[in-house]
Structure 1
Amino acid sequence: MADSSSNSKRRRGLGIVTPNACTECRKKRAKCDGQVPCGRCASQKGIDCVYEMPVRQSKENMRSEIEQLREQQRQSDRVIAALVSKDRSEDVLTQLRDGVTVETITGQLERLGSTSSTSGGSNVTSFGRMSDHHAIRSALRSARNIRGSSSSTLGLRDIQGLDLQSQGQHTGSTWPAWSSEGQVQNFTDGSQDGSMSWSPDTVPFSPQSGLTLPLIGSWHQTAAGQSPPDSSIQFARGEGQGTLLGKDFGLDGRPESADAPFNGTWTTVTSDSALVEHLMALYFCWEYPTFASLNKEHFLEDFKNGRRRFCSPLLVNSILALGCRFSEQPNTRTDPRNSHTAGEHFFAEASRLLEVEVDRHILTTVQALGLMSIREASSGRSSRSLFLAGQSIRLAMEMGLHFEPEHEGSTDAQMEHAVRSATFWGAFSLDQAWSLSIGRLPHFSRDTKLVTKPAIIDEVEASEWVPYTDDGAPFARSCTQPSNIRSVYKTFCELSEIVHNSLYAFYTPGSNVTGKKVVDLYTQYLNWYDSIPTALRLGENFTPAVLFAHMYYHFAILLLFRPFIKLDIVGSKISPRDVCSQAADAISTLVHSYSQLYSLRRTPSFVPYFVLTSGITHVVTLGASRGGPENLHQGVQYLREMQSCHEFANRAVDILHYFIRDWEVEYTLDFQEDEGKGKQDYKALCPSSSTSLNQFCPNIGSVASVHGIGPVAPDENPLFWPFPLQGKPLLDLDSNLEAAGFEILL
């Protein structure tokens, strides 16, 4: 009762505090009664009682003006885009000459664009029902407002040496106006087209919230609470497989005549060809093409015909082991009651086939090693995943896959080059991702010229993508979007090249990191973001691969600045701490949109690592009293939703719990699902072991590790890395710190 009484008095006390004190009372740090003049100033002679506009109110006015300017800019860009088009330029020019306002013309153009975009096209996103359009637009709204960390609040234009190709994405060819003729449907609501929003929606998301599979659910035609009959599921699977794998895998199936193509399953684990094709469709839907080392078209052709040039039992079992992660069918698990055993039987068969191989210098073996690495990352066995990824890139180098072919004239040679190129770049990208995550030099040399990336083929680009699940694909696809597989793959590989450069800048022996190097690398990332194809902009395309590529970009930005989170860059307005916070918020925003579109039950294998990294930053922000617990709470919810799909997500929650307790952050995790975990010693959550298969073990005693997130103590290492096993950038911390362009953050 005593505690209750004291809390009540404290609450009443807050109510009588003057929200805006006068200037004189602020200087003297005295209480102000808020009167004009206030009692204190009135009692003193020669004192002017002046009230300045509150900072909060000033910011609101500025936001309002900025939004108005952005809306005017959006309308102007929209009209300019119409002027340069062939079919609307004369009408728009006539209206401008007649004195019609830009706002009126923009409204007309958007109505015309909305009507024409629903008719579909060869390489555009089209809608059958306006309700589906609104649902998707709502899910993408927060992600659509992310502009790649190049916020004007960071003062990038004032930084010497920061030469951006394009300041902002709404000018020039890098960000054309939405719904322009011949372009993809506009997903924005027309009110905040160019706004900068780093904060995700704060509505907690959980599987019980009724928001599970919101997009897919809206595409299905079954009534709520009813499950479609088996025949309907078969039909939906056939439709989905026909879209993702080709018509030979669809509803009609393959003929059973003696002259029919090869009809085997390529695995000894099962003879159920329908299950094999189902799992392959799941892989190509949710994981492909990022980090993919195989060429889908050539693989599927050889799979159908039983040829071993671009297909092998090892490769097929590796794909099936990954595909099982996205299925809830009991026959995809070794233990039907344990989702974490999904794909274990296929992975065991792949491991057996790998061990008996006499010569591993085979394209399909390099590809399979990369897929096995991704699967182990999902399972939380990061050390083994690192080993397999290393084997993949080393074999690729030994086979000379990074060299350009000498003869590329024949069709067969071009096909060989396309597959070899995809194999190398898949292994290369995976090696960069792991090297970035743990802080080390990559396996590949810094200065070697790399093979050209796989060519972009219009027919492949325009192939459709649908959200495929155990229930198949939507019966009547209200929204059809192009896969843009080759564009996603090429753009993702270009991002991996920048990651490659950053790793050598950080970890090359004898070459210290400098503030200029960090800024130059940041410039490369921003230029990459500004130059990505229109089709891969958020809102133009929202396939899982596109959302994943944007997450990876912000993940790379976060890890670029995280070692310097307790430092400032001398002479620069870029704050590492602020950039880290913004990148973490951007990841949360993207994951939120992904959950709204597809749920987090089916996400690419590295997404839990992104959420963990952003979650650690949210812990730092909360512990430093620079933000609330909403983002951290939502990140934990995301990881829990991914636990059935990715076992690492469960470990990621434990890691966050460890840091919250070790850094004494005032936040309590909800352990309703596991009552015992909340009571155990937090130091037992992430045990370290010399034989551990997990690289992420924060519970390791080390004199070089940071034990808090507060101010830098005397003689303390100011560089921040949450995992003692993570590599540290080469940077002197004594008198050379300032010479390198850094200073300790006060």
Structure 2
Amino acid sequence: SKARRKGKKDSGDDGSKKRRCISSACVPCRKRKSKCDGSTPSCSACAAVYNTECVYDPNSDHRRKGVYKKDIDNLKTRNSTLQTLIQAILNYPEDEVAGLVQQIRTCESLDVVAEAIIAKENGLDEEEDEPVSPFFDTPTSAPPTFESQLSGKMGELRLEDGSTRYIGGTSNLIYLGAGSDVEDLPGSLPNVEQYQQQENAVSSWTAVTSDTELIMHLINMYFCWHYTFFTTLSKSLFYRDFLLGKPPPDSRRKTEYCTPLLVNAMLALGCHFTSWPAARDVRDDSATAGDHFFREAKRLILEGDLHEIPKLTTVQALALMSVREAGCGREAKGWVYSGMSFRMACDLGLNLDSGGMYHNTNSALDETAEDARRITFWGCFLFDKCWSNYLGRLPQLPTSIIAVPKFEVFPDEDAGTWAAYTDSGYSQAHAQPSRTRAVARQISALCEISSDLMNFFYNPIDIDKAKGKQSELKKLSEIHQRLETWRRELPKEFEPKEGGLPSMLVMHMFFQLLYIHLFRPFLKYNQATSPLPAHVSPRKLCTQAAAMISKLLRLYKRSHGLRQICNVAVYIAHSACTIHLLNLPEKNARRDIIHGVKHLEEIAESWLCARRTLGILSVLAKKWSVDLPEEAATVL
């Protein structure tokens, strides 16, 4: 009836754009009786909600064959599509004709529209995938939109205030209509204003200094030595906005990938790789390196309430601030910054695959924006695993919440030249392809292994519980196999060598660290009680890994010096030195502990945490009554 058709149309427009009619749902959607949008090769429900394989098999949809398939077949054979459309326009209620005409004008196939009209005349709305029931015959019994929304909402991404945010299915906020999103999309402003460069563009991002040479020096330091390991943003997108300068207050131009907060966080980190006096808050005190830029970053957060406004660049900046605080020996503060970064990342839905999850399809991101989200999340994933290992805590970003794919490796970008940058400028001695993203993907694979390792062997809930030896052995064997597979499948260009990429050498240190963490829990067993085979010695394996870390540090020193190295290397070196202390006075242990403390002393010029590490090693040596070699004792 007219009332029934009108009721369905009105309800379909409530709160969302009407789904297009489809002739048959996919097999998984039919089995679970969920709505199917008919997208190929995979519908949105299978791809974004259920993560299942999507298969279309119209011939198996027996419910429809006896209802309207015969009419559709007759329609095609009589070639009466146009007649069907004209009759519908003549007979439709006045208030529905405009919608039908619009559908005809915008559709991809008139046959599909005609099929939908015939199905509607037969009393079967193709959007409904339920069997025909006598309970649905009256207008008051039509399937209500309210119930279908309550049961169907599994979560969505929506654009609010320029940021994409994730709202889950149990949240009542999912029914709150979003505002005008299109205006907030990147690229919605006039091109002339959007790409107009400001005066003093480089210095416009910070209030600490107007010295353009200093700013570029520190930015180069950051991208050369820190970004290559902790890859958490799109370098090309950052530079695109950075070089245009901070938009004036009266400008409509928005910078999506560069903000004063992010720049000051980068500058604070860059200060740790240079000896320029201007990089220090107190010019003759290296312990104050970067403090002035970090203080400016904190001011921007507090004065602008930036911690309350989810934004991609804020996620990145907070992560960088967290690792910088760790390098300065302020773990409690760094832990808080990392937590803020990770929570904001999840609020933005960075951990999810955004395909098909947008409240407004006009808000869907392009490939560039999607890539920026992915590389930011996997950067956070690395920061989280470094914090997890460093503090011995469980990961805050578990693999169970991750649905977003890894970021892509762009050949043009990774083929760009990496060259060592120091206070003397660029050196071409070990210039080579940067391979930044390729290395970052390898590191992310190690992080996934680290996550499982920490959750099983270092879970505080299980510390007082006696795990079965077979259970421990099974998990150890599984993780050991994954580590060996990672090493075996590593491309030849990523093998450690003289003059290798700094990020690659630190990556191998991290790999060896995971070996120490894997076998260290088994040091408590003696040969009689160990669940391991007799020929497997946890102590020997830990010793070999620690020795390899020391070897990699020597390789790094010969290739690049230790003045410029990521602060995560301090923690890795500390873990190796602890094993060296255990093995003293053995010859190789003596050599490695001497090298280890001297390396830490050299790194301490850049990172305060290295100075504290030397103090901790001294305390351990006394506590364990270890007879230190004289060369090491002098440093400690």
Q: How many pairs are equivalent?
A: 416
Distance 1:671 1:583, change over 3 A: closer
Tell me the distance in 2 between the aligned counterparts of 1:380 and 1:635.
19
1:462 is aligned to: 415
Q: Are 1:640 and 2:589 matched, yes or no?
A: no
Contact 1:432–1:442, Cα closer than 8 Å, also in 2:
yes
Residue type at the aligned position of 1:349: E
The farther-off stretch of 409-418 and 459-468 is 409-418
1:714 is aligned to: none
TM-score by length of 2: 0.62
Provide Cα deviations, 1:9-46, integer angstroms capped at 9, x if missing partner. Answer: xxxxxxxxxxxxxxxxxxxxxxxxxxxxxxxxxxxxxx
Q: Are 1:309 and 2:271 matched, yes or no?
A: no
Tell me the distance in 2 between the aligned counterparts of 1:418 and 1:388.
24
1:336 is aligned to: 283
Contact 1:558–1:583, Cα closer than 8 Å, also in 2:
yes
Tell me the distance in 2 between the aligned counterparts of 1:335 and 1:669.
34
1:377 is aligned to: 326
Q: Are 1:404 and 2:353 matched, yes or no?
A: yes
SS of the equivalent of 2:456 reads helix
Residue type at the aligned position of 1:335: V
Contact 2:420–2:431, Cα closer than 8 Å, also in 1:
no
1:630 is aligned to: 591
RMSD value, Cα: 2.5
| Correspondent of 2:390 among 437, 444, 453 | 437
The 5 A counterparts of 1:489-504 are 489-504=440-455
Tell me the distance in 2 between the aligned counterparts of 1:540 and 1:420.
34
| Correspondent of 2:371 among 418, 423, 426 | 418
Distance 1:672 1:402, change over 3 A: closer
Tell me the distance in 2 between the aligned counterparts of 1:618 and 1:503.
23
Tell me the distance in 1 between the aligned counterparts of 2:200 and 2:212.
13
Distance 1:622 1:354, change over 3 A: same
Q: Are 1:273 and 2:222 matched, yes or no?
A: no
Tell me by how many angstroms 1:533 deviates: 2.5
Q: Are 1:533 and 2:491 matched, yes or no?
A: yes
| Correspondent of 2:579 among 582, 604, 617 | 617
The farther-off stretch of 388-397 and 534-543 is 534-543
2:50 is aligned to: none
The 5 A counterparts of 1:564-575 are 564-567=522-525, 568-571=530-533, 573-575=535-537
Tell me the distance in 2 between the aligned counterparts of 1:601 and 1:588.
17
Tell me the distance in 2 between the aligned counterparts of 1:259 and 1:351.
25
1:362 is aligned to: 311
| Correspondent of 2:439 among 469, 482, 488 | 488
SS of the equivalent of 2:431 reads strand
The 5 A counterparts of 1:512-661 are 512=467, 514-539=472-497, 542-567=500-525, 568-571=530-533, 573-622=535-584, 628-661=589-622
SS of the equivalent of 2:619 reads helix
Distance 1:485 1:663, change over 3 A: same
Contact 1:657–1:669, Cα closer than 8 Å, also in 2:
no
Contact 2:232–2:376, Cα closer than 8 Å, also in 1:
yes
Tell me by how many angstroms 1:479 deviates: 4.4
Tell me the distance in 2 between the aligned counterparts of 1:483 and 1:671.
36
SS of the equivalent of 2:554 reads helix
Distance 1:404 1:532, change over 3 A: same
SS of the equivalent of 1:473 reads strand
Distance 1:525 1:483, change over 3 A: same
Identity score, percent: 33
Residue type at the aligned position of 1:372: M
SS of the equivalent of 2:332 reads helix
Provide Cα deviations, 1:244-285, integer angstroms capped at 9, x if missing partner. Answer: xxxxxxxxxxxxx98879454300000112211110000111
Question: Based on CA coordinates, which of the two structures has the bigger radius of gyration?
Answer: 2
1:388 is aligned to: 337
Tell me the distance in 1 between the aligned counterparts of 2:557 and 2:508.
15
Contact 1:566–1:577, Cα closer than 8 Å, also in 2:
no
Q: Greater share of helix residues, 1 or 2?
A: 2
Provide Cα deviations, 1:280-326, integer angstroms capped at 9, x if missing partner. Answer: 00011111132332111111111112352011100000000000001
Tell me the distance in 1 between the aligned counterparts of 2:444 and 2:271.
26
Tell me by how many angstroms 1:376 deviates: 1.1
Tell me the distance in 1 between the aligned counterparts of 2:499 and 2:408.
20
Contact 1:642–1:649, Cα closer than 8 Å, also in 2:
yes
Contact 1:403–1:450, Cα closer than 8 Å, also in 2:
yes
Tell me the distance in 2 between the aligned counterparts of 1:671 and 1:499.
31
Tell me the distance in 1 between the aligned counterparts of 2:533 and 2:416.
49
Unaligned residue ranges in structure 1 (runs of 5+): 1-256, 679-746
Tell me by how many angstroms 1:331 deviates: 0.7
SS of the equivalent of 2:205 reads coil
TM-score by length of 1: 0.53
Residue type at the aligned position of 2:425: G
The farther-off stretch of 330-339 and 429-438 is 429-438
| Higher RCO (CA-CA < 8 Å; seq separation 6+) | 1
2:221 is aligned to: 282
Tell me the distance in 2 between the aligned counterparts of 1:626 and 1:538.
24
Tell me the distance in 2 between the aligned counterparts of 1:599 and 1:581.
25
Contact 1:558–1:579, Cα closer than 8 Å, also in 2:
yes
The 5 A counterparts of 1:198-217 are none
2:18 is aligned to: none
Tell me the distance in 2 between the aligned counterparts of 1:539 and 1:354.
42
2:406 is aligned to: 453
1:27 is aligned to: none
Distance 1:450 1:557, change over 3 A: farther
| Correspondent of 1:297 among 236, 239, 244 | 236
Distance 1:669 1:435, change over 3 A: farther
Q: Are 1:473 and 2:423 matched, yes or no?
A: no
Tell me the distance in 2 between the aligned counterparts of 1:607 and 1:661.
24
The 5 A counterparts of 1:165-244 are none
Tell me by how many angstroms 1:610 deviates: 0.9
Provide Cα deviations, 1:696-723, integer angstroms capped at 9, x if missing partner. Answer: xxxxxxxxxxxxxxxxxxxxxxxxxxxx
Tell me the distance in 1 between the aligned counterparts of 2:201 and 2:261.
17
Contact 1:636–1:653, Cα closer than 8 Å, also in 2:
yes
Contact 2:604–2:610, Cα closer than 8 Å, also in 1:
yes
Distance 1:605 1:318, change over 3 A: same
Tell me the distance in 2 between the aligned counterparts of 1:398 and 1:428.
15
Contact 1:562–1:580, Cα closer than 8 Å, also in 2:
yes
